Amino acid sequence: MTTELENVAKQVGTTQAAIERRVSLILTENKQAWDATGFDESEQSTRAVRIAARQMITEKRKIASSGCVELTGCFVTSPPYKDWAKMAYKKMNTTLSSLDDNGLDALVSGGSIVIYEADGSGFNRKANGSLMSKLPFEQGMSESYVMGLPKGTVEHADLNIHYYIVADNNMPKYPSGDDNYRYGSPRPESEPERTCLFLGSLDGDEARIYEIKFSGEEAVRQQPTFLPGTIPVKGGKDNAKTGNGRAWTRKGVSVFTEDPEAASVLPGAPFALDNGNPSGFLADMLGEEKLLSSFNDLLPYYDAHRDDADWWDQWVGILGEVSHIDTLDNGASTIIVGDLEDFTAPSIEVRVPADQKARIDFSVGSQILVTGAVWKTNDGEPRMSVYGWFVTEGIAPAVEEVSGWDA
């Protein structure tokens, strides 16, 4: 098999630049192990090209069999993920602690929870009978003796019981007629979700905003914002509320791949300042009201818009200055962004995961546009949950001269 990148790209059905990026990633990830094995640079390059080609061919086959198509463009937002199940169990624990036996039985009868009480070598199960039988829901409670706890139960130590929240107590079957596997079943203790905005072209259509929902392990992965690339998805119906397109992900298939050529579908750069006047598609999306001039504007914005009907969909942008970059032990980084107008204003922290550390190719003093949702602490202090960032004026890191013992 030839390892000339141009020929390999043709065999894989991709561009030479895409092969080069994948080869570079594989070399970075495996260099330490390969150096220890004694592979020279030539052998490492040859192996990296072969592995890159195999990976990309496998990925293309997965995409083809999944029914997904390429969404080309860039992520505009990647808000923190929310674990709705974890929050639901935390809330239920508090609720159960406040109830007497009648209150607990009422939750069981109503199909909200299933309770297991230790009894000898087994458990007395209290559940809604219709849910256990996968029949249309009816109020009621039945008790039975079981020897073990099903997967998904959690312990409530104060009440000396185990229980689970019912995942679905409304719909035994899907509209298609297939059984609803969640009906009467335990709701997982953790269900991370993250909905991102993506500006791009779906399978060659005109570029627009899409809402992409990630679930489970995929939701935990933070997506890089304003970085051109592609992601395989399945198109869905538009969101009637927002007017945005919708795209659904497939586990193990919908993985974002950086591709500078994807910038060709975007309407120019995200943001720029021309004699103090903002331009770019991000500036257009924010508008004058949501493009704040100072971190001190966070609290006034919160107070002015907290009661808006679309409050939970609102996000703002602020142009700041990188005042510090801290690298953490796990390889992630924290960018401390300061106010351009008031150096006494609170700073904003931007978390950059380890797999995006290559994006930090700038240093302190660079200007960066940070976007996110505004909220307020119990003490009345304004905060921003960061949704994305884009360096508008980067300063390259200085190259330190090596001397002394390391020379």
Residue 103 and residue 61 share a domain:
no
Instruction: Write out the H or E segment, with its range, that includes residue 256.
Output: none
Render pLDDT for 27-68 as a digit per residue (tens, 0 to 9). Answer: 888 988 999 989 998 899 999 999 988 988 887 777 777 788
Q: Is 50 helix (H, G, I), strand (E, B) or coil?
A: helix
Domain match, 278 and 371 both? yes
* Cα–Cα distance for residue pair 379/37, rounded to 1 Å: 57
Tell me the pLDDT of the chain averaged across its residues: 91
DSSP-assigned letter for residue 148? S
Q: How many domains does the chain have?
A: 3
The rounded distance, in Å, linking the Cα atoms of 197 and 225 is: 9
Residues 329 and 380 in one domain: yes
Question: In 3-state terms, what secondary structure has residue 339?
Answer: strand
Alpha helices (runs of H) in 69-165, residue ranges in sequence order: 84-97, 101-109, 129-132
Distance CA(263)–CA(265), nearest Å, equals: 5
48 & 150 share domain: no
Name the stretches of the chain with pLDDT < 50.
1-2, 402-407
Q: Check whether residue 278 and residue 379 sit in a common domain.
A: yes
Q: Is residue 105 part of a domain?
A: yes
For residue 335, give the H/E element and its range: strand 333-339
Q: Is the same domain home to 292 and 347?
A: yes
Query: Are residues 154 and 48 both part of a single domain?
Result: no
For residue 310, give the CATH number of its domain: 2.40.50.140
Judgement on whether residues 294 and 386 belong to the same structural domain of the protein: yes
Let me know if 40 is exposed, middle or buried by CB neighbors in 10 A (0-12, 13-18, 19+): exposed
Pair (337, 301) in one structural domain? yes
Residues 93 and 35 in one domain: no
130, 165, 200: which is the final residue of a domain?
A: 165
Measured distance CA(318)–CA(382) in Å, rounded: 14
- Kindly tell me the burial class for residue 229, based on how many C-beta atoms sit within 10 Å of its own C-beta (0-12, 13-18, 19 or more): buried
The pLDDT of residue 60 is 78
SS3 content of the chain, % helix, strand, coil (to 5): 30, 30, 35
Answer yes or no: do 17 and 92 share one domain.
no
| Nearest one of 229, 246, 281 to 70, comparing CA atoms | 229
Asked if 57 and 107 sit in the same domain, the reply is: no
In a domain, 199, yes or no: no
**Which is it for strands 208-215 and 245-248: parallel, antiparallel or unpaired?**
parallel
The one-letter code for the residue type at 358 is A
Residue 247 lies in a domain: no
Question: What are the tokens at 161?
Answer: 């019981």
Domain finish residue from 150, 165, 180: 165
Residue 339 forms part of a structural domain: yes
pLDDT of residue 1: 44
Its domain, for residue 354, covers 272-393
Is 405 part of any domain?
no
If DSSP codes are grouped into helix, strand and coil, which group holds residue 358? helix
Q: Tokens 């009868």 sit at which residue?
A: 109
H-helix or E-strand spanning residue 307 = none
Task: Quote the tokens at residue 300.
Answer: 């006034």
Distances (CA, A) of 341 to 125, 291, 318, 319, 388: 62, 14, 11, 10, 21
CA separation for the pair 2, 7 (Å, rounded): 7
Residue 370 lies in a domain: yes
Instruction: Please indicate, yes or no, if residue 35 is contained in any of the structural domains.
Output: yes
Query: In Å, how far are 164, 198, 227, 251, 388 from 233, measured between CA atoms?
Result: 33, 12, 17, 10, 21
Final residue before a domain boundary, out of 165, 198, 223: 165
**Residue 197 lies inside a defined structural domain of this protein:** no
